């Protein structure tokens, strides 16, 4: 038995933020912004849009693509580190928004590797016959947590959601491997807003409710961990036998470095960061849906998903379409 992907979907906010717009705010040229991260535009939410509304929109597209009604779903998993609120979970809001049955719904917080973590949970539910059809959504809204006084993060992040529908089948998710290292959590984190640093006037003045990132250290760790992950993966299947690689769209320079060090041809890597930015855990399902729309994935295609993010968390998955 395998958990098979039978539907994909994506959703982006209406507002498009170009490098031209950010250039005026940050004092960087459009050329310099693109050189630093490879991003030309990203989407930020506007009034009425939230993590849950994007998640619901992406889920509806994935359900339509799968041919299944919402009432056929047995479990809803939402990967997010930017929920609508601390509780209830965003997954419960998605369940309400889809008018799904009274089924389990829960959030998973694993930063940029969160989609892989959620995919793994859904895969296990299906393989243990605890569920037949699972909706896996990754939805992130990072724009409210960006410090426009810090160009290192302000130029990177975008908002968006991606979703897949899993069902039991004979082909599909072949294997998933997950890792974490909490010792290096300070490389990228959001200090305030939890029980450790509750919201106060002082925390607001110090901008502790915005993303903090040690760029150089994070860059090095991202390349090192994803390259090492691919070497572990190559013990199971030769990288040359993989038809398409979809990496977390963190930074174009990171992707270019990984491809150079592993020898993976750029033509085998689907890249979306230029037009959507770094959308955290939603970047892989957004890119996956985009690759399908561009005809890069069809029956028999062997796909590798690979991600690295805060926590630190990272991992990979092999899917046979």
Q: Average the pLDDT over 118-122 and give the result.
A: 98
pLDDT of residue 183: 96
Q: Residue 188, SS3?
A: strand
| pLDDT > 90 in the chain, percent | 97
Question: Is 189 annotated as catalytic?
Answer: no
Residue 28: how many other CB atoms lie within 10 Å: 18
Indicate the average pLDDT of the chain. Answer: 96
pLDDT of residue 267: 95
Question: Is 19 annotated as catalytic?
Answer: no
Residue with tokens 């990496």: 247
Over residues 249-276, the pLDDT tens digits come to 999 999 999 999 999 999 999 999 999 9
Active site residue: 19, 133, 251, 278, which one? 278
Over residues 15-31, the pLDDT tens digits come to 999 999 999 889 899 99
* Interatomic CA distance for residues 129 and 103, integer angstroms: 15
CATH number of 2-170, picked from 3.40.47.10, 1.10.10.10, 3.40.50.620, 3.40.50.720: 3.40.47.10
Give the Å distances, CA to CA, from 185 to 43, 83, 110, 140, 311: 27, 20, 12, 19, 5
> Domain-by-domain residue ranges, the chain?
2-170, 176-320
Q: Residue 293, SS3?
A: helix
The torsion angles phi and psi of 160, rounded to 5 degrees, stand at 170, 175
Domains 2-170 and 176-320 fall in the same CATH topology: yes
Active site residue: 37, 92, 112, 306, which one? 112
Over residues 29-58, the pLDDT tens digits come to 999 999 999 999 999 999 999 999 999 999
Question: Is 150 annotated as catalytic?
Answer: no
Active site residue: 19, 92, 248, 269, which one? 248
Strand 188-189, strand 133-140: pairing: unpaired
pLDDT of residue 156: 96
pLDDT of residue 88: 97
- Fold classified for 176-320: Peroxisomal Thiolase; Chain A, domain 1 (3.40.47)
| pLDDT > 70 in the chain, percent | 100
Q: Average the pLDDT over 166-183 and give the result.
A: 96
pLDDT of residue 1: 79
- Of the pLDDT bands very low, low, confident and very high (cuts 50, 70, 90), residue 67 is very high
Over residues 124-145, the pLDDT tens digits come to 999 999 999 999 999 999 999 9
Over residues 195-242, the pLDDT tens digits come to 999 999 999 999 999 999 999 999 999 999 999 999 999 999 999 999
pLDDT of residue 220: 96
Give burial (CB, 10 Å; 0-12/13-18/19+) of 263. exposed
Chain centroid to CA 238: how far?
25
Residue 267: how many other CB atoms lie within 10 Å: 8
pLDDT of residue 146: 95
């Amino acid at each position: 038995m395998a958990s098979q992907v039978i539907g994909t979907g994506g959703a982006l906010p209406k507002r498009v933020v170009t490098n031209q717009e950010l250039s005026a705010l940050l004092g960087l040229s459009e050329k310099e912004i693109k050189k630093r991260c490879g991003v030309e535009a990203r989407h930020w939410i506007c009034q009425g849009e939230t993590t849950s509304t994007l998640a619901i929109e992406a889920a509806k597209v994935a359900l339509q693509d799968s041919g299944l009604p919402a009432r056929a779903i047995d479990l809803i998993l939402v990967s997010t580190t930017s929920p609508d609120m601390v509780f209830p979970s965003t997954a419960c809001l998605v369940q309400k928004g889809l008018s799904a049955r009274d089924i389990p719904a829960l959030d998973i917080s694993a930063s940029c590797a969160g989609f892989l973590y959620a995919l793994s949970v859904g895969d296990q539910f299906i393989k243990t016959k605890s569920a037949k059809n699972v909706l896996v959504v990754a939805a992130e809204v990072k724009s409210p947590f960006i410090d426009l006084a810090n160009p290192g993060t302000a130029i990177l992040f975008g908002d968006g959601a991606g979703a897949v529908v899993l069902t039991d089948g004979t082909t599909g998710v072949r294997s998933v491997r997950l890792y974490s290292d909490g010792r290096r959590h300070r490389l990228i984190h959001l200090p305030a807003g939890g029980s450790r640093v509750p919201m106060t006037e002082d925390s607001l003045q110090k901008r502790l409710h915005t993303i903090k990132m040690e760029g150089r250290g994070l860059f090095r760790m991202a390349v090192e961990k994803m390259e090492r992950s691919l070497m572990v993966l190559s013990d199971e299947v030769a990288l040359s036998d993989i038809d398409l690689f979809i990496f977390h769209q963190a930074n174009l320079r990171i992707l270019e470095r990984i491809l150079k060090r592993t020898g993976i041809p750029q033509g085998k890597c689907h890249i979306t960061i230029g037009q959507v930015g770094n959308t955290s855990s939603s970047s892989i399902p957004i890119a996956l849906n985009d690759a399908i729309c561009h005809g890069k994935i069809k029956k028999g295609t062997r796909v590798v998903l690979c991600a690295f993010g805060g926590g630190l968390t990272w991992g990979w998955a092999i899917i046979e379409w």
